[in-house]
Structure 1
Amino acid sequence: MIKSKMLLSGAAAMSLVSLSACVTDPNTGERTFSRTAAGGALGGTLGYLLGDLIGGSTAARIIGAGIGGTAGAVIGDQFDDQIRELDEATAGTGVDVEEIGDQDAILVRMPDITFATGSAAIGGNFQSILNDVASSLQRYPNSLIDVYGFTDTTGSPSTNQALSNRRAQAVADYLASRGVSRARMATQGFGEQTEYLRVQTADGVNEPLNRRVEIKITPISQDDVRAAQN
């Protein structure tokens, strides 16, 4: 098995916190990134995050993606740099950038209602966000990427499952078009089953705003590469 990080424990689940927080220095008024100020557990989304990478064995994916010499001996500082840069690049866009476990992975959660109802088309505003994510993934090539797709409850469960698959695939394809190796990416749709936010509509129905994608970035170290090759 490729390192314990790839399968998060229950204890790691307790440390899932939002990294989209900033703090304001009361003396200078300057806003800065602060991990200690970040809050908000992922709650109901834990189930699909607390597991192995999708799309086959982790070892096979590492080898298939060609991750080798690019992987560092220690993940630490690179992880901190990437998560900070992603947080800064997406500030004010509605994107949440979160740490999973103790430097186990980075979750980039796109805003709800990212897509039109029934559509997997990537809009212009969404493209600019993905451009920033793609740039980060190119700067930090020693990681594997899982793209998750979701839908609201409009339509049948089977239709929504297929739609969520297409949304995840559309995002992966877009990232690939911006230079990110498709071999690093795997996709999975969750349909309407893993909702993130509900609002009350005019007729009193609690409707999930769930037309979104999430991108999980799992860093790979030299130890992971060696384990995959053995």
Structure 2
Amino acid sequence: MKTSRFFLAGISAVALLGTSACVTDPNTGERKVSRTVLGGAGGAIAGGLLGGVIGGKTGRIIGAAAGAAGGGYVGYRMDQQIKELREQTAGSGVDVTEVDGGEAILVNLPDGVTFATGSYTINQTFRNTLDRVAENLTQYPNSLIDVYGYTDSTGSDSFNQRLSEQRAQAVADYLTSRGVATSRIRWQGFGEDTRYAVGDNNTAEGRALNRRVEIKIVPFDQSDVNAAQQAQGN
């Protein structure tokens, strides 16, 4: 029997760190450390809301399910989506990994090619890559999508917080403009919050890793829809 994803939010961060620090490449079967889960700044945990989604799943699943296919969404299909995302973004600098113990997909959009320094306007040269990501998301409609924005520690806290929000919103708006249902998408900026740092802010390389936008894809299936409807009814 499949363990419901609703219980993931209650699992401790330490336990999830043990299962998510190493991920399995669905194309090769190789186990490797995910740079989107472990960072140089004290092994911080990244990926926005580990084991959860913005605003909780119950209402969002019900809303998203109305426009989704409604069929099963486990195992092979999720592996297939990861494989296709990697193929569609190859050579762009985008990193695609499993997170939340294999229950979600994280698409890491790199600094520099996605936005110019200090800007939240998506670079024209990167829009073709985002078009392919949007096409993939519409092809696999049974999922919730969170978009997270992060910065490094350079500059004021308020500026970095606002910039992270603007960048996350810019990516979310772009995806919806390319046909991804708005009911599936939420966005949030985390600024320079060190809890989500994946690099050392004392080095140029670490700061570059911390300046990023992540798209988290959380698949759901019919059992999740049923559980959400039951929870809402209660």
TM above 0.5: yes
Q: What is the match of residue 28 of structure 1?
A: none
Is the CA contact 2:165–2:189 (under 8 Å) kept in the aligned structure 1? yes
Residue identity (%) = 48
How many residues align structurally? 216
Q: How does 1:124-143 map to 2 (within 5 A)?
A: 124-143=124-143
5+ long unaligned stretches in structure 1: 23-32
SS at match of 2:97: strand
| TM-score normalised by the chain length of structure 2 | 0.81
- 1:35 and 2:29 matched: yes
Q: What is the match of residue 104 of structure 1?
A: 103
Q: CA deviation at 1:13?
A: 2.4
Is the CA contact 1:147–1:188 (under 8 Å) kept in the aligned structure 2? yes
Of residues 142-151 and 61-70 in structure 1, the stretch that sits farther from structure 2 once superposed is: 61-70
Q: CA deviation at 1:219?
A: 0.2
Rounded Cα–Cα distance in structure 1 between residues aligned with 2:23 and 2:133: 15
| TM-score normalised by the chain length of structure 1 | 0.82
Q: Residues 112-149 of structure 1, C-alpha deviation per residue, up to 9 Å, x if partnerless?
A: 23322221100012212211110110000000000000
Q: What is the match of residue 41 of structure 2?
A: none
Of residues 117-126 and 5-14 in structure 1, the stretch that sits farther from structure 2 once superposed is: 5-14
Rounded Cα–Cα distance in structure 2 between residues aligned with 1:145 and 1:136: 12
Q: CA deviation at 1:4?
A: 2.1
Q: Describe the shift of the 1:7–1:47 C-alpha distance in structure 2 as closer, same or farther (beyond 3 A).
A: farther
Structure with max Cα Rg = 1
Of residues 43-52 and 70-79 in structure 1, the stretch that sits farther from structure 2 once superposed is: 43-52
Q: Residues 49-98 of structure 1, C-alpha deviation per residue, up to 9 Å, x if partnerless?
A: 423211x2311111222447623335111101101101111122111100
Of residues 13-22 and 184-193 in structure 1, the stretch that sits farther from structure 2 once superposed is: 13-22
Q: CA RMSD in A?
A: 2.7
- 1:14 and 2:8 matched: no
Q: What is the match of residue 148 of structure 1?
A: 148
Is the CA contact 2:64–2:183 (under 8 Å) kept in the aligned structure 1? yes
Is the CA contact 2:149–2:167 (under 8 Å) kept in the aligned structure 1? yes
Rounded Cα–Cα distance in structure 1 between residues aligned with 2:152 and 2:21: 24
Q: Residues 137-180 of structure 1, C-alpha deviation per residue, up to 9 Å, x if partnerless?
A: 00000000000001233321011101101100000000001000
5+ long unaligned stretches in structure 2: 39-43
Q: How does 1:85-104 map to 2 (within 5 A)?
A: 85-104=84-103
Rounded Cα–Cα distance in structure 1 between residues aligned with 2:177 and 2:160: 25
Is the CA contact 1:18–1:99 (under 8 Å) kept in the aligned structure 2? no
Give the structure with the higher percent helix: 2
Rounded Cα–Cα distance in structure 2 between residues aligned with 1:198 and 1:126: 26
Is the CA contact 1:120–1:163 (under 8 Å) kept in the aligned structure 2? yes
SS at match of 2:216: strand
- 1:4 and 2:7 matched: yes
